[in-house]
Amino acid sequence: MSNYVLNPETLLYEIKEASLKSKFFKGFLLFAGSVLLAAVYIWLVTSVAGIELPKTTFLKAQRSRWISRMEVMNSKLDSYEEVLDAIEVRDEDIYRSVFGMNEIPASVRNAGIGGPERYSMLDGIEPGNVLKNTLLRLDTISMRTCVQATSLDEVSSVSRRAGDMADCVPAVPPVIPDEGVYTLSSPFGYRSDPFNGSSKMHTGVDFAMKIGNPVFATGDGVVEMVAFDFFGYGNCITINHGFGYKTMYAHLNTVKVIEGMKVKRGDQIADSGKSGRASGAHLHYEVIYRDEKVNPANYYDLSMPKDEYMKMVTTRAQESGRGQGRHGFSIHRR
């Protein structure tokens, strides 16, 4: 707006232009007033009237859609976890148990991916950490699925040899079932130690017999260990039969196998003796299933006919080409 002033020389009214400083000041006041009015308007709309701004409404709607999607995802994850739990139970209690495979530790099955720092960038993004928890569940289920897939591959591999399982289970006595040859001197379980009289767990079965009686493999397998323990088992053999089974033969006089050698049920592997810490001549025999020593009497039948047992032994001797008089390697330790 222009101002008119009287010129005393010409006695006429003339337009007086405002200074640049004055124009700037007026413009600033106009801008500040506009901002203030806008702020008052926004305050009245949002705080007094309770009306949301368009951008706020849009962001809330978008957030609501994402939360709905994550709720659907978590619902599906619940279903997937139920199915995975059922598969894991069957895997441990049926598949791996039937084939004598060791259990998979819970720490391995439930292992996550990375530590807490992996998800730290999501802290505080939204209330309840829904996104963080969903990602954590996805990673955990992915890892559990990978572990389970590997386990089923192992079960599948073992199941292809399931037909061999009947031959590998230690299902016959380790000595000829002739009561005139042996005496069951000590069963599986707690007993008085023959040396100090204290109560102690006896983890096998003792067949008391003269030195030199033949000892036979009770199932197909591989000789895992041949050792001598002067203050313990003396000459001893451990055979790994697979499918979770192992057998151990102790206090032997002579050993006729070496480590890594494949044996079959009915192969003579040793002669009975009195080596190591033994109060008398006998064979100490153990059955180990899935790393736990179990009662051997639950696997063999001492009422098995002697003729049937000898036929098995003779057949194996002929198949191996050893004949009746030669039984492989012989190691004497007294």
User: What angle do the packed helices 130-159 and 54-90 form, to 10 degrees?
Assistant: 20
CA distance 214 to 326: 12
Neighbouring C-beta atoms of residue 270, cutoff 10 Å: 28
CA distance 91 to 94: 6
Q: Which residue has the tokens 């009561």?
A: 179
Please provide the DSSP assignment of 299-332 as one string: T--TTS-HHHHHHHHHHHHHHHT-TTT--S--EE
Q: How long a stretch of residues is the chain?
A: 334
Write the Ramachandran bin of 40: left for phi over 0, alpha for psi from -120 to 50, otherwise beta: alpha
pLDDT for 67 equals 81
Whether the model clears a pTM of 0.75, i.e. scores above it, the answer is no
Residue-wise burial string across 14-39, b where 16 or more C-beta atoms lie within 10 A, e elsewhere = eeeeeeeeeeeeeeeeeeeeeeeeee
pLDDT for 234 equals 95
Mode of pairing for the β-strands spanning 221-229 and 282-289:
unpaired
The number of angstroms, rounded, from the C-alpha of 132 to the middle of its chain's C-alpha atoms is: 26
CA distance 80 to 73: 10
Give residue 303's identity as a one-letter amino acid code. S
- In CATH, which superfamily holds the domain spanning 166-332? Glucose Permease (Domain IIA) (2.70.70.10)
Q: Which residue has the tokens 């699925």?
A: 145
Which among 250, 255, 328 is positioned nearest to 288, based on CA atoms? 250
Phi, psi dihedral angles at 199 (to 5 degrees) = -75, 130
CA distance 99 to 162: 8
Phi, psi dihedral angles at 272 (to 5 degrees) = -65, 155
Q: Residue 1 corresponds to which tokens in the numbers above?
A: 């707006």
pLDDT for 157 equals 84
Find all residues with CB under 8 Å of 2, minimum gap 6, and list them. Answer: 15, 16, 17, 18
Task: Write down the domain spans for the chain.
Answer: 54-160, 166-332
Q: What is the DSSP letter of 129?
A: G
pLDDT means per 10 residues, the chain with 334 residues, are 64 64 74 76 63 70 81 90 90 82 82 61 65 82 90 86 86 94 93 75 95 97 95 95 95 97 97 93 96 94 94 92 48 37
pLDDT for 160 equals 80
Q: Which residue has the tokens 């530790």?
A: 105
CA distance 128 to 71: 13
